[in-house]
């Protein structure tokens, strides 16, 4: 990895099995970046415990996310794949940045408002509230230039930028101020039962999402039952959010333009269209599933990958943390 390359950082929470949304909105785009950028792709397990998790599920999901990264085409010899809790600098910088982040800023984060509503305002942890300052630490530790994020994460990235600028102004230039990286074809994949909200792995309705672990028939069934409308015309319209979502999924996977898809399904009705979208998804996810299952049988290899990744990440992260500690006035131990 050349030092002259711009740095990219992104991550996914192992808060459940990954969805088609995580794949099309994040991982699939990342696979196109490995040659041009110095990429760090993290499994952010410390973020996952901001909402209560069964330890055995967290362990299983963490390895599954790593296997998904590799199965989707992220080559661990070209990009740094690692687990957040293995690099303690994330927690350490997270604390320093917590002390530079204002209560009011965190309270304005829409993801905090949404997620705390889901918990019906009971058992909302301080970790969920301060999640964005830990996310800022994740990004700033690697002197990240670009962060590929979905629309849903944009507000958090804005805050990370504000915190970086605040630190640089207070203590002198320390952090690169990161910019959002906009994928050539963006995608926000919506919930199959309520296409006005995004598809999420922690949704309680399992018909609302396609998981990367779903088998072919499960995927077909879920698309058949996906909520559309009563118009019966396949076209791109904000008044038809269900069809709009299916068009987006089809186009993102095949690379065909929405106009050309719409033209082909003129007068054909929803049933054929839904079946064809399902087939496109089945064909995209089947090789990924087989590869992931293969990788999960080889735990030694996965361990080798995450250990090597943590070592590489740690080297860079420690350098940044050392500078930060010095600037805020901590006395070095040695
Ligand atoms: N539906 C989506 N469409 C497009 N992109 C999506 N991403 C998530 N859902 C969609 C992208 O996946 C990356 C990491 O997601 P995450 O797991 O760290 O957090 P999240 O955005 O909160 O994802 P979920 O599935 O909704 O998780 P839970 O249910 O645990 O909160 C990000 O780049 C995100 O844009």
Say how far apart CA 205 and CA 196 lie, in whole Å: 15
E strand residue ranges, 124-166: 146-148
What is the token pair recorded at 144?
């990240």
Nearest residue to 222 via CA among 247, 193, 253, 187: 193
Ligand 1 centre to CA of 153 (Å) is 8
For the question of residue 201 being annotated catalytic, the response is: yes
How much is the pLDDT for 249? 96
Nearest ligand 1 atom, CA 152 = 35
Q: Is the CB of 245 under 6 A from ligand 1?
A: no
Mean pLDDT by 10 residues, the chain (334 residues): 83 94 93 94 97 93 98 97 98 98 95 80 87 98 93 90 98 97 78 94 92 96 96 92 96 94 92 97 97 97 98 98 97 83
Alpha helices in 172-257 (DSSP H): 216-224, 241-254
Pick the catalytic residue from 201, 222, 252, 274: 201
Q: What is the pTM of this model?
A: 0.93
In the chain, what are the domains?
7-182+299-328 (3.40.50.620), 216-293 (1.10.240.10)
């Amino acid at each position: 990895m050349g030092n002259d390359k711009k740095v990219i950082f992104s991550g996914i929470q192992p808060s459940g099995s990954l969805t088609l949304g995580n794949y099309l909105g994040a991982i699939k785009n990342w696979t196109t970046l490995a040659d041009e950028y110095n990429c760090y792709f993290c499994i952010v397990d410390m973020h996952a415990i901001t909402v209560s998790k069964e330890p055995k599920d967290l362990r299983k999901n963490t390895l599954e996310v790593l296997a998904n990264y590799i199965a989707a085409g992220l080559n661990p010899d070209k990009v740094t794949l690692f687990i957040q809790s293995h690099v303690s600098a994330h927690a350490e910088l997270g604390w320093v940045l917590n002390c530079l982040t204002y209560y009011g800023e965190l309270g304005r984060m829409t993801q905090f408002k949404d997620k705390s509503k889901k918990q019906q305002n009971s058992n909302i942890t301080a970790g969920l509230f301060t999640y964005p300052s830990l996310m800022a630490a994740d990004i700033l530790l690697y002197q990240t230039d670009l962060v590929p994020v979905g629309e849903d994460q944009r507000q958090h990235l804005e805050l990370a930028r504000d915190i970086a600028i605040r630190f640089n102004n207070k203590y002198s230039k320390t952090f690169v101020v990161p910019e959002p990286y906009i994928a050539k074809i963006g995608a926000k994949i919506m919930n199959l039962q309520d296409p006005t909200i995004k598809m999420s792995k922690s949704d309680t309705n399992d018909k609302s999402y396609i998981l990367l672990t779903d088998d072919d028939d499960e995927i077909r069934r879920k698309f058949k039952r996906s909520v559309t409308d009563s118009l019966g015309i396949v076209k791109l319209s904000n008044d038809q959010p269900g069809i709009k979502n299916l068009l987006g999924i089809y186009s993102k996977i095949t690379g065909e333009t929405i106009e050309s898809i719409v033209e082909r399904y003129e007068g054909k009705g929803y049933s054929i269209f839904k079946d064809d979208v399902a087939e496109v998804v089945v064909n995209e996810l089947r090789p990924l599933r087989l590869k992931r299952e293969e990788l999960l049988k080889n735990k030694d290899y996965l361990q080798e990958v995450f250990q090597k990744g943590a070592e590489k990440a740690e080297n860079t992260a420690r350098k940044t943390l050392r500078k930060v500690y010095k600037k805020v006035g901590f006395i070095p131990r040695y």
